[in-house]
Amino acid sequence: MDTTLLKKQEKTNFSDKMLSHLHSRYMNLDRHVVWIADDEYCAVFPMWNLSEQLCSYQAYKPDKLKYHTNNSPKDSKYFTYRKSECWVPWGLESLYFDDGPVFVTEGIFDACRLTNHGATALATLTNKPPMDFRNFLSFLTRPVVAVLDNNEAGEKLKTCGDYVETVPKNKSKELYADLGNSEESYVYYLLNKYGVKL
């Protein structure tokens, strides 16, 4: 068999596999920009500021360990690059989805659970966002709901919200509770509680 054809099939398989995986994590590709690598199992989530300048990105490799083990952060499941002078959350485009509350989460897939239903959600990619972000939120004329992971680190994000919700532990899963892994009924609970039109 032609090796060029094999390489082309492999690239297609990486893309198809990643698209399927992102769909299973509630990533709505009609709402968000995602770059998918052809040559490896990797998706990249670009982040722009309000002036539409590319400021940072997060690379996501689902088949890697969450934390790197060989002094190479690029080999971990999540790798985030930020320009030192520019900090932005992921999901600023969702500010235009509706005029309801702004949900703040730690992770991209946590935010996707909400934006998938048309809600506004920003992912900080840290549990201690800078004061600039909190100042930005204070200028929005919308209520801000911090949705915390159910662990000690998640508690740190509560300084970002006018309202705070902690994801309940899911008894059927061994993972700590975050919105990305929560039951769909909890997502609907949040959307209904804060008046997001479904």
Residues 78-122 have pLDDT tens digits of 998 888 777 899 999 999 878 899 999 999 999 999 999 999 999
Give the pair of three-digit tokens for residue 107: 């992770």
Tell me the CA distances in angstroms from 52 to 31, 97, 104, 120, one per residue in order: 16, 17, 20, 18
Give the pair of three-digit tokens for residue 78: 């999540």
Domain ranges of the chain: 3-82, 92-193
Residue-wise pLDDT tens digits, 117-136: 999 999 999 888 999 898 99
Q: How do the residues of the chain divide into helix, strand and coil, expressed in percent and rounded to 5?
A: 35, 20, 45
The b-or-e profile of 12-44 (16+ CB within 10 A means b, else e) is: eebbeebeebbeebbbeeeebebebeeeebbbe
The arithmetic mean of pLDDT across residues 166-191, rounded, is: 84
CATH of 92-193, one of 3.40.1360.10, 3.40.50.300, 3.20.20.100, 3.50.50.60: 3.40.1360.10
Least confident of 37-41, 143-147, 188-192: 37-41
> How high is the pLDDT of residue 39?
84
- The closest alpha carbon to 131, from 159, 170, 150, belongs to 159
Residue-wise pLDDT tens digits, 1-59: 444 433 444 455 788 899 999 999 999 999 999 999 888 899 999 999 888 889 999 99
